[in-house]
Amino acid sequence: LDIWVYQLGWADGPYPPTHWETLHWLQDMGFRVNPEIGRYDGLEGVERHYHQWADRRHDLEYEIDGLVVKADPFQHYERLGVVGREPRWATAYKFPPIQATTKLLGIEINIGRTGTLNPYAVLEPVQVGGVTVSKATLHNEEDIRRKDVRVGDTVIVQRAGDVIPQVVGPVVSKRTGRVKVFVMPDRCPVCGTPVVRPEGEVMRYCPNPACPAQAFRWLTHFVSRGAMDIEGLGESWCYVLLEQGLVKNPADIYSLTKEQLVGLERMGEKSAENLLSAIEASKDRPLGRLIFALGIRHVGSEIAVLLASQFGSIDALARASVEELAAIPTVGPRIAESVHQYFRDASNLGVIEKLRRAGVRMAEEIAAAPPEGPLAGLRFVITGSLASMPRSKAEEFIRQLGGSASDSVTKKTDYVVVGESPGSKLRKAQQYGTRLLSEQEFLELLRQHGAI
């Protein structure tokens, strides 16, 4: 009997490790497995019904041309010798990260939204775990020093959590005399301003707020999903708008006209209309989103929502003193100072004025203390992907019911929701003995409390 195993989303290259195991496993059971046919391309009439092993004792079930193949993942993983703490049905298996060696061609610098100089490795493209890796972050100069990687080195590359490319370190035995120690630049590679490294901090900053790189990062941050969420405006268009001088700061987006947009290369009527309506729609985002979008240092999505709920308007926030700010729980002196400073800067105030004139919502009712939901006081963490909804949606539901959703597992975490291909959070949860929830159980929980 021939079995074709079909996995969505992997058109090329090797299968994810768990999938590989499944192939072998089916083989062991006496099926002839044809992994080559199992590619995403060109497969017709093969449907995948793939119940996750995270579901308690649920069968793994493949339907192939009307033939249903069932198997028990519990036994499968047990046979592999991969048995974690209870409940064992949630144990997933991953190979250790697959590594490869390649050449470090150079180290280049990105400028972050806050002006940080972020070095990254430019690598000779290499296949690692099924994808081509050509770049990887090096975090900062200390990290480069710790790893002691030099330009020209042969380096080991892996995919952390099987996803993110990472430089592990050099293969010192392969080092030739021609390697070069990397030196962080003294000047911003984009605007040439001498960089500063505040005492006690590890990152170097470009102190020029008008640096084009920072303007670009601010703009992309402003329009991003978590902030004002302007659909259709990605990095490329941000770049074009800045380069053409149509936009100098985020507030200028709101005075773009159709004529201006249509004049751009590869921007037609349709795109221009879509973009303008997306911009229009963004005027009504919740206050927290706007505060986040302003890009104040130390104010991310969480603190922004907190500030919105405390002050209720941009004006009230702008008037707040350092003491008032620091009096808020979880806001300390650094954050308070950062916020206060932001609203003392003339150009920032100019942007805010312009946003106001454009009709961007600047205030909202201060919500009464959030009603105590059924999940009040419970901390959730999600790992892996959920089939039924994006992670952000799941987190929204959790908050709606009064729970909190964070992204690192600690001893205080109450539940870890395990989706498909979970990462290291699952390991950590097992280590702490944190209660695990399969996607089905999670959905059941939401249903119980009427969230869905």
Partner DNA sequence: TCGTGTCTGCTTAGGAGCGT
Partner DNA sequence: ACGCTCCTAAGCAGACACGA
Site for DNA in 143-172 (CB under 7 A): 143, 160-161, 163-166
Could you tell me the smallest distance in angstroms from the CB atom of residue 64 to DNA? 19
**DSSP secondary structure string for all residues of 187-231:** B-TTT-PBPB--TT-S--B---TT-HHHHHHHHHHHHSTTTT--T
Could you tell me the smallest distance in angstroms from the CB atom of residue 70 to DNA? 26
Report the residue number, 25 or 208, with the smaller CB distance to DNA. Answer: 208
Q: Give yes or no for residue 235 binding DNA (CB under 7 A).
A: yes
Q: How far is CA 231 from CA 43, 54, 254, 256, 279, in A?
A: 33, 34, 14, 15, 8
Number of Cα atoms under 13 Å in the Cβ half of residue 362 = 15
Could you tell me the smallest distance in angstroms from the CB atom of residue 118 to DNA? 4
Could you tell me the smallest distance in angstroms from the CB atom of residue 30 to DNA? 31
Task: Candidates 76-84, 106-114, 247-255, 280-288: pick the segment binding DNA (CB under 7 A).
Answer: 106-114
Question: What is the H or E stretch that residue 106 is in?
Answer: strand 99-111
Q: Which of 266, 346, 365, 371 binds DNA (CB under 7 A)?
A: 266
Cα angle: 95, vertex 405, 340; to 5 degrees: 120
Report the residue number, 24 or 39, with the smaller CB distance to DNA. Answer: 39
For DNA, the binding residues in 34-93 under the rule CB under 7 A are 40
Q: Convert residues 188-217 into a mask of x (bound to DNA by CB under 7 A) and - (unbound).
A: ------------xxxx-------------x
Task: Candidates 29-37, 50-58, 312-320, 422-430: pick the segment binding DNA (CB under 7 A).
Answer: 422-430
Q: Which of 64, 92, 104, 233 binds DNA (CB under 7 A)?
A: 233
For DNA, the binding residues in 110-149 under the rule CB under 7 A are 110, 112-114, 116, 118, 120, 131-137, 139-140, 142-143
Query: Of the candidates 142, 147, 195, 136, which has an alpha carbon nearest to the alpha carbon of residue 170?
Result: 147
Could you tell me the smallest distance in angstroms from the CB atom of residue 39 to DNA? 10
Report the residue number, 11 or 181, with the smaller CB distance to DNA. Answer: 11
**Residue 393: both structure tokens together:** 């949606």
> Considering CB under 7 A, how many residues would be counted as binding DNA?
91
Report the residue number, 25 or 380, with the smaller CB distance to DNA. Answer: 380
Q: Which of 101, 271, 313, 440 binds DNA (CB under 7 A)?
A: 271
Distance, C-alpha 331 to centroid of its chain: 24
Please classify residue 89 by burial: count the beta carbons closer than 10 Å to its beta carbon, then call 0-12 exposed, 13-18 middle and 19+ buried: middle
Could you tell me the smallest distance in angstroms from the CB atom of residue 42 to DNA? 11
DSSP label at 172? G
d(CA 203, CA 139): 9
Q: Kindly give the interhelix angle for 212-223 and 235-243, rounded to the nearest 10 degrees.
A: 130
Q: Is 4 within 8 Å of 64 (Cβ atoms)?
A: yes
Could you tell me the smallest distance in angstroms from the CB atom of residue 75 to DNA? 25
Could you tell me the smallest distance in angstroms from the CB atom of residue 265 to DNA? 6
For DNA, the binding residues in 306-345 under the rule CB under 7 A are 326, 329-336
**Residue 56: both structure tokens together:** 């308690």
d(CA 445, CA 451): 9
Could you tell me the smallest distance in angstroms from the CB atom of residue 167 to DNA? 10
For DNA, the binding residues in 344-403 under the rule CB under 7 A are 379, 383-386, 390-391
Would you tell me how many other CB atoms lie within 10 Å of the CB of residue 120?
A: 17
Q: Give yes or no for residue 179 binding DNA (CB under 7 A).
A: no
**Residue 213: both structure tokens together:** 């790189």
